[in-house]
Amino acid sequence: MNLATPPVAAKQPHVETHHGIALRDDYAWLRDPAYPEVTDKAVLAHLEAENAWFESRMAPHRERIDALFKEMRGRIKEADKSVPQKDGDWLYWIEFEEGAEYKKWWRRPVAGGADELILDEVALAEGHEYFRLGAIAVSQDGRLLAWSVDDNGSERYTARIKVIASGEVLPDEIPGTLSSLVWVAGDKGLVYSLANEQWRTDNARLHWLGQPVAEDVELYHEDDDGFRVGASLSANEQWLIIGTSDHETSEVRLVPAADPLAAPVLVRARQSGVEYDVDLRGETLFVHANDSHENFRLATAPLSAPGEWTTLIEGSDEFYLTGFDLFRDFYVIEGRVRGLDRIEVRYYDDPARVEPIAFPEASFSAGLGDNPEWAVTKLRLSYESMVSPASVLDYDVAARGLATLKVQEIPSGYDASLYATERLEIAARDGTLVPVSLVYRRDRHAGGPLHLYGYGAYGIAIEPGFSTTRLSLIDRGFAYAIAHIRGGDDLGRAWYKAGKLERRTNTFTDFVDVARGLIARGHTQAGRISISGGSAGGELMGAVINSDPGLWGAVVAHVPFVDVLNTMLDPTLPLTPGEWPEWGNPIEDEAAFTLIRSYSPYDQVKAQPYPPLLVTAGLNDPRVTYWEPAKWVAKLRELKTDTNELLLKTNMGAGHGGKSGRFESLKETAEEFAFILWQLGIEG
C-alpha cells in the first residue's frame, strides 16, 4: 500500500433516473449489496486504505493527541458516583471505578443494609470492542432486573433478565430489541419493541417470564413504515402507554398495566401534523399537544372520553411547552422562553398558582432529573451553563428552595472566573435574529480562532451546557460558539419548521451568517474558524463547505448525512420512510426531489478548493450508513482543486456514536482537536 498519496476510489458508472432526470453515481459500488453485513472485499479494502491514510497523516501528531487525551482524561473524576435516588424501598446510584470505561449499578435498602451490585457493565463489556447498555429496568417488587446490550454498534440490543439477590440470569433472552423494557402484570411480563429488518420498531410485544420468546404476544403493530412504536408506564404506574409517531404526527393507546392483554384504549386517532403525548392521574388524562398551537398546550380529558380535550394551559408564542411530569400533589411543566429553559411547579387544585424555579445565571441549561416516585416533596434537577459544571440539585417544593447535592468535579482544576459566556443575536440574511451561545477565556485575544458548532434538524435544541473537553480548545485561545440555527426548536416549534422541508436551506445560511456575524463583531477572522457537526449536523458541514469554503480553517464531520438524495430515494433503508416528513419525499414529489438535489452535499460537490476536512464513519451504523461518508470523501478527492487535508476514519467495530467507553471516546475527541489545531497552525 502506497501511503505517499491518498487512496483513490475506483469509478464505476451507475445511473438511475427519477422524474426524467438521470442521476450518475460513480461511487455507488461502495454500498455492499449484503448490507447490514459488509463482506465485499473491494469495499473493505478501500475503507482500510482510507484508515491507513488517516493513521499515516495523523502519525506525526500522536504526541499532541496523547497530550490532549491526557488533559481531557485529567478533567474526569475517575472514581465517581451519582447522587443516590430513592425509589420505593431502595436507594439507587451508579458508580465508576478508577480507570473503568463503564459503570456499575448499585442499590441499598432505605431501611439500612448492605450495598447490592445489580448490574456490572465492566464485566458485561469484557472481551468486546464495543459495548453499550440500552435499557435497564427493575421490577416493581425490586426482585428482578431486565437490561439490554448492544455489543457491535448496530443498535440491535439483546435483553436479559436476572434475579438480583442471587445474580441468577434467567433463560429468557430477547434478541433484536430497540426499545425500553417495561414491567407489567405484577412483574410477570415485560413489554418491549423489536427492530424489524429495516431497523424500524413497528411493534410493542409482551414477553411472559419463563415462556419461549417465540410465544411472545404482539400488543400493537404499526402498519405505516414511517412510524415508530414505543412503550412506557404512566407516572402512577397503573397504565401502559403505547405510542406511535413519525416526526410530525403521533397516536397513543392505553392498556392497564395489570392486564396488558386487555383491549387498548385509543386516546385520539392520528391526525396529520398533530403530535401529542399523555399521562394519567386517577381518572384524568393529561395531554401535551400541538393541535391548537404549534408551541403545544396542556389539556385534560376524562379517561372515559380520552379524545375530548379541555385546555389547562394555553399554547403561547412566548412559552414553548416542551413537556410535563405528573406527581401525586402537583405537576411540573418544562419549556423554553426565548430559547432558555424554564421549569414551573403547578397545582391540581389551584390552576392560578404558578411557581417558576429560579436559577442564578442568565444563560443555562436546566431540567428535571430522575424522579421515579409518585409521592414526592422534593424534585431532583440538573443544572449547568457554558461556564458552570453540571450540578445535581434538589428543589424543596413547599419551601421553594434549591439545595446543591453535587457539582461535577474536575480533578485537574477549573476556575470558572477565568471564563466568560455571552448570549448573542446575529441577523441572518433574511433579517431573522439567530441566537448564539459563546464561551471564551477572559484573557483571549480578540479576533483569534473560534470553533463553531451546529446541528439544526429534527427540532432538537442544542443546550448551552458545560463541556470539559471543550476546554482544550478554549484554553488554547479559542472562543467556542453554538449556533442555535433554524431546524432545531431552540426558539419554539416555528423555529423548527423554518428549517425543514421546503425551508431546509435556512439552516445552512443561518450557520454561514452566524460565522460572518462573529467575524464582523471582531470575535474571529475568515479562515480562523473551525466547525463541526454530526449526523444531520454533518449534512450541515457538507452544505456550508460547498457554499462558502473560504470561511473555514478546519472542518470535522462526524457520521455525516451527506448523501441525502440517494438515501431519501431508497425506501428500503432503515430510516427513510420516517424521514420524509423531515426532508420531503423525492420519490413522489418532484419539487422535493429538485430541492433536496440542490443542497445534498454529495450531489453538490464541485471543482473548487475545499477546507481541510476530517470525516468519521461507523461500519455498523444503521442511522447514517458507512457508504455516505465514504462516497462523499471519494467524490471530494476526485473534484477538489486544493491540496488541503481530507481524511476519512471508519470505525470498523462501531456504529453511529463512535467508540464506546468514557475514555475510548475521548481518544477520538483528542484526534479531532489535534486535527483542528494542526490545520489552524496553533502550537501548544
- Catalytic site residue 523? no
| 184 and 48 in a common domain | no
Convert 125-139 to b/e letters by CB count within 10 Å (16 or more is b): beeebbbbbbbbbbb
Structural domains of the chain, count: 2
Q: If residue 510 lies in a helix (H) or strand (E), which one and from where to where?
A: helix 505-520
Q: CB–CB of 235/326 below 8 Å?
A: yes
Specify if 181 maps to a domain: yes
Instruction: Please say which residue of 220, 246, 266 terminates a domain.
Output: 266
The CATH number of whichever domain residue 424 belongs to comes to 3.40.50.1820
How confident is the prediction for the chain on average, in pLDDT? 96
Among the candidates 266, 295, 329, a domain finishes at: 266
Same domain flag for 143 and 65: no
Q: Write the DSSP string, 2-61.
A: -TTS---PPP---EEEETTEEEE-TTGGGS-TTTTS---HHHHHHHHHHHHHHHHHHGGG
Sequence-distant (6+) residues with CB within 8 A of 620 are 36, 130, 152, 153, 154, 626, 653, 654, 655
User: Taking the CB of residue 82, how many other CB atoms lie within 10 A of it?
Assistant: 18
Give the structural domain span for 143: 128-266
Q: Are 543 and 575 in contact (CB under 8 A)?
A: no
Spell out the residues 6+ positions from residue 544 whose beta carbon is closer than 8 angstroms to its own.
508, 511, 512, 531, 551, 552
Read off the amino acid at residue 101.
E
Cα 150 to Cα 618: distance, rounded to the nearest angstrom: 14
Active-site residue (options: 46, 207, 558, 656): 656
| Measured distance CA(103)–CA(123) in Å, rounded | 10
In a domain, residue 668? The reply is: yes
> Last residue of a domain, which of 266, 286, 306?
266
* β-strands 350-356, 340-347 pairing: antiparallel
Question: Residue 121 falls within a domain, yes or no?
Answer: no
Amino acid 655: pLDDT: 55
Choice among 535, 563, 600, 660 that is catalytic: 535
Tell whether 665 and 557 lie within a shared domain.
yes
> Within a domain: residue 240?
yes
pLDDT of residue 1: 43
My answer on whether 44 and 192 are in the same domain is no
Query: Could you tell me the three cell numbers for 647?
Result: 481524511
164 & 246 share domain: yes
Q: Are 307 and 289 in contact (CB under 8 A)?
A: no
Amino acid in the structure at residue 472: S
pLDDT at residue 200, as a whole number: 87
Do residues 467 and 550 both lie within one domain?
A: yes
Q: 85 in a domain, yes or no? A: no
> In this structure, are 138 and 67 located in the same domain?
no
Q: Are residues 605 and 503 in the same domain?
A: yes
Give the CATH number of the domain where residue 188 resides: 2.130.10.120
Domain membership of residue 513 (yes or no) is: yes
Say if residue 168 is in the same domain as residue 20.
no
In the chain, the amino acid numbered 357 is I
Q: Does one domain contain both 42 and 169?
A: no
In-domain check, residue 307: no
Q: Please give the Cα distance from 609 to 612 (Å, whole number).
A: 10
- Residue 516 is inside which H or E element, if any? helix 505-520
Provide the 10 A C-beta neighbour count for residue 506: 23
In a domain? residue 318: no
CB contact set of 10 (below 8 Å; sequence gap of 6+): 29, 42
Per run of 10 residues, the mean pLDDT along the chain (length 684 residues) is 83 97 98 92 97 97 97 96 97 96 97 96 93 96 97 91 97 96 98 91 97 97 95 96 95 98 98 97 97 98 97 97 98 96 97 94 93 97 97 98 97 97 97 97 96 97 96 98 97 96 98 98 98 97 98 98 97 88 96 98 98 95 91 98 98 68 89 98 90
For the question of residue 207 being annotated catalytic, the response is no
pLDDT tens across 426-480, in order? 999 999 999 999 999 999 999 999 999 999 999 999 999 999 999 999 999 999 9
Return the residue matching grid coordinates 430513592: 86
Instruction: Kindly state whether residues 246 and 162 are assigned to the same domain.
Output: yes
CA count, 13 A, side-chain hemisphere, 48: 10
Same domain? For 537 and 668 the reply is yes
User: In sequence order, what are the residues at sequence separation of 6 or more whose Cβ sits closer than 8 angstroms to the Cβ of residue 498?
Assistant: 432, 486, 487, 506
The Cα 200–Cα 226 span in angstroms is 9
Annotated catalytic, 558?
no
Residue with cell 460547498: 546
